[in-house]
Amino acid sequence: MDSPSDRFHQQLSQMCPFELYRSLPDSNPSSHRFSPGSLSSHPLFSPLMHPNSASQRWGSFRQRQGLFPGLLVDDDVSEEDVFGKREFAVGAMGSSQRCPGERGQGSCPDPGDWGQDFARVKRLRMDSAARSEEETRREGKRGRKSTASVRMDERKAAEQANRRESREGRKRQRQELKLQLEETRGKLLELQHKVWKVYGGQADDEKGGEDGPINLDEVAEMFSDSDDPLIGSGFSPPRCSSKKPNETNGNAGMFPETSVDLDLELNGDQVWLGCSLVRGEWESAEGGQKFAQALKQELANVVAQVIDRVVRHYAESDPSAVTSTAVPQETSMTLDLNPDRRPRIYVAEQVEALPLITKSPQDKRAPIAQSVHKDLLLPQANPSLAPLPQPPLPALLPPRSKEHFLPSYPPDNPVPLPLLHYTMQNLFTRSLSSLPLHKNCLSESFMDFRSHNSAFPPLPLLGQLDPSPSDRAREGGMRGGGAGVVDGGDAALYLAAGSSQEGLSPCHLKKAKLMFFHTRYPSSSTLKTYFPDVKFNRCVTSQLIKWFSNFREFFYIQMERFARQAAREGLASARESALHLGRDTELYRILNMHYNKSNDYQVSACMCTCVKARVVRVTSQLCV
């Protein structure tokens, strides 16, 4: 989905939060190809489909082939339209440098709002806690008072009145607390909604209008592959609000744990908010206290969980935001006590990705202070590598100004804080590190994507990771490439952190294929950024470029093939809604086979939508 995953260029984005959505106006492919600055401007979405400089080349490609003569400009414009405006409701046409941030007006909560929301919720939490404490103290006083009243008959009447009063007071307080809880719940839902809106909403909205042939079932199927919508497509709306209480015991949804609580209703004799009190029981004075306690606890828990989750999700999109705060780590340690709640994807990632980062299991929950030691394990601390720019110490929840991207991590496997420095590229790395072959192929230097400029594929586009055991087994047999290609499996063994390998491994080929879904025409600097573990020379660069040339060729050929077929079938004039591009289609199969052979990624719906949009256009052009 559209996630903020493409916000990588800090400075640009600080000036204009959605700068990254700006399409490249560059009309000079070669000038841009080697311009590092251009990397930051790549649109977030659909690397595969998006007309970064590729459009022109695609046009030239077609022109040379004589496939679609005279359609170059048109293609670019329309593609811009499709992927710039339709997909993101933005799109800088031509050289207009309009700040795409405009798009965020109204639909995208301002970072400031976020801070305010968090502050409000935090305040509510503190208020409720303080209130409950106060109430507890009062209750205690009352208790003492009532025992005294037993001894003093003359004060009985007054005491009874007092008790009535206090009962009413308790009632009032209960009401207040209830109201507060309701308010908080509303706030939480609002927060959830905002989270969803920010990280999944826009594309989802557009998807609704765009989907057409990618019917709901299909989309649902695609989504269903993801346990965590943020990890996966990111499109899924928060499910907790629509789930029934008895369905919320799983870990699905954006706020799995939260949803459990939030969906429990205040009705009937149901256990209320898990405090083991049923209605009526807490009507008594003792129950009231119990209720107040439970309410306090529950309220605090719910709020804490939601806040933590929001923070975590926030952190996932903005690692620098929490680099100096203990929030994610702390919450991970305090809240995620049940490992079973971890989504499946986390399990896969934990065994695959984390060992590369944290070598000792007990370190996973190490206090912050210990994270210093982990620096040694991080590329950042590698003396042979350029130091990672340290972001300024942010406030607890700074405005969404930093454009790094944090690899999401298992909730109960907090990453060491230095890892939070990882940028967007780390997301990609994380994805790759979950590939079956990463264990052998990803050195630490390999994971060191620290360039803040380069545009890495948005994870959501790549879709849901779902490496299967069979894939891993299969991966072992990946054949080696040409002359400069060394065996990927062994290569990493000789790759000390910070060292570069001379040749390109099958891992690099695979990575390049995935990379192709983001950049069809990578510049040499991009390549260097993407392959930090490769010692670049003329030969290696040429080979990589050749790879991409081959990728393009194959991709365009398939595109054209599919488009021609569709045209033959009379779909040319038909609206795009008539064009079906699901997982069962040939194009999908072929492309997936070629670029995602081991199904390292579940192709997200947006990918299909993007491909479809392009095919539709090509098809219609074919039939003109």
Partner DNA sequence: CACCCGCCTG
Partner DNA sequence: CAGGCGGGTG
Please say which residue, 500 or 541, places its beta carbon nearer to DNA: 541
CB of 442 to DNA, least distance (A): 18
The Cα 89–Cα 612 span in angstroms is 18
Please say which residue, 202 or 543, places its beta carbon nearer to DNA: 543
Mark the segment that binds DNA (CB under 7 A) among 54-62, 127-135, 237-245, 418-426.
Answer: 54-62
Is residue 27 at the binding interface for DNA, with CB under 7 A as the rule?
Answer: no
CB of 511 to DNA, least distance (A): 10
Site for DNA in 55-94 (CB under 7 A): 57-58, 60-62, 64-65
**Chosen residue from 235, 314, 530, 548 binding DNA by CB under 7 A:** 548
Q: Are 617 and 79 in contact (CB under 8 A)?
A: yes
Site for DNA in 429-448 (CB under 7 A): none
CB of 76 to DNA, least distance (A): 14
Is residue 536 at the binding interface for DNA, with CB under 7 A as the rule?
Answer: no
Sorted by sequence, the CB contacts under 8 Å of residue 225 that are 6+ apart come out as 232, 463, 464, 466, 602
Binding mask 337-376 for DNA (x = CB under 7 A): ----------------------------------------
Sorted by sequence, the CB contacts under 8 Å of residue 349 that are 6+ apart come out as 409, 410, 430, 434, 465
CB of 338 to DNA, least distance (A): 42
**Chosen residue from 254, 299, 310, 509 binding DNA by CB under 7 A:** 509
**Chosen residue from 31, 96, 97, 334 binding DNA by CB under 7 A:** 31
**Chosen residue from 11, 15, 27, 28 binding DNA by CB under 7 A:** 28
Q: How many residues bind DNA (CB under 7 A)?
A: 35
Please say which residue, 58 or 223, places its beta carbon nearer to DNA: 58
As beta bridge partners, residue 464 has: 602
Sorted by sequence, the CB contacts under 8 Å of residue 493 that are 6+ apart come out as 440
**Chosen residue from 299, 485, 618, 622 binding DNA by CB under 7 A:** 485
Is residue 564 at the binding interface for DNA, with CB under 7 A as the rule?
Answer: no
Tokens 């207009």 locate to: 96
Q: Which two tokens stand for residue 173?
A: 């307080």
The Cα 182–Cα 159 span in angstroms is 33
CB of 596 to DNA, least distance (A): 12
The Cα 557–Cα 553 span in angstroms is 6
**Chosen residue from 304, 545, 590, 623 binding DNA by CB under 7 A:** 545
Is residue 511 at the binding interface for DNA, with CB under 7 A as the rule?
Answer: no
**Chosen residue from 30, 97, 276, 284 binding DNA by CB under 7 A:** 30
CB of 552 to DNA, least distance (A): 5
Q: Is 317 helix (H, G, I), strand (E, B) or coil?
A: helix
Is residue 33 at the binding interface for DNA, with CB under 7 A as the rule?
Answer: yes
The Cα 310–Cα 546 span in angstroms is 43
66's torsion region: left (phi>0), alpha (psi -120 to 50) or beta? left
Is residue 35 at the binding interface for DNA, with CB under 7 A as the rule?
Answer: no
Please say which residue, 22 or 513, places its beta carbon nearer to DNA: 513
Q: Is 602 helix (H, G, I), strand (E, B) or coil?
A: strand
The Cα 376–Cα 387 span in angstroms is 13
Q: How many CB atoms lie within 10 A of CB 123?
A: 10
Is residue 538 at the binding interface for DNA, with CB under 7 A as the rule?
Answer: yes
Mark the segment that binds DNA (CB under 7 A) among 179-187, 327-335, 481-489, 569-577.
Answer: 481-489
Q: How many CB atoms lie within 10 A of CB 331?
A: 19
Is residue 546 at the binding interface for DNA, with CB under 7 A as the rule?
Answer: yes
Is residue 543 at the binding interface for DNA, with CB under 7 A as the rule?
Answer: yes
Mark the segment that binds DNA (CB under 7 A) among 189-197, 259-267, 409-417, 542-550.
Answer: 542-550
3-state secondary structure 194-259: HHHHHHHHHHHHHHHHHCCCCCHHHHHHHHHCCCCCCCCCCCCCCCCCCCCHHHCCCCCCCCHHHH
CB of 590 to DNA, least distance (A): 13
Please say which residue, 29 or 169, places its beta carbon nearer to DNA: 29
Tokens 């052009």 locate to: 621
Binding mask 303-332 for DNA (x = CB under 7 A): ------------------------------
Give exposure, 337-368, as e/b (b: 16+ Cβ within 10 Å). eeeebbbebbebbbebbbebbbeeeebbebee
CB of 471 to DNA, least distance (A): 16
The Cα 253–Cα 273 span in angstroms is 19
As beta bridge partners, residue 504 has: 485
Sorted by sequence, the CB contacts under 8 Å of residue 488 that are 6+ apart come out as 437, 440, 441, 478, 480, 505, 506, 507, 508
The Cα 13–Cα 20 span in angstroms is 7
Is residue 483 at the binding interface for DNA, with CB under 7 A as the rule?
Answer: yes
Is residue 618 at the binding interface for DNA, with CB under 7 A as the rule?
Answer: no
Q: Which helix (H) or strand (E) holds 141?
A: helix 111-151
CB of 528 to DNA, least distance (A): 11
Residues within the interface to DNA (CB under 7 A):
28, 30-31, 33, 57-58, 60-62, 64-65, 481-483, 485, 504, 509, 513, 521, 524, 538, 541-543, 545-553, 556, 594
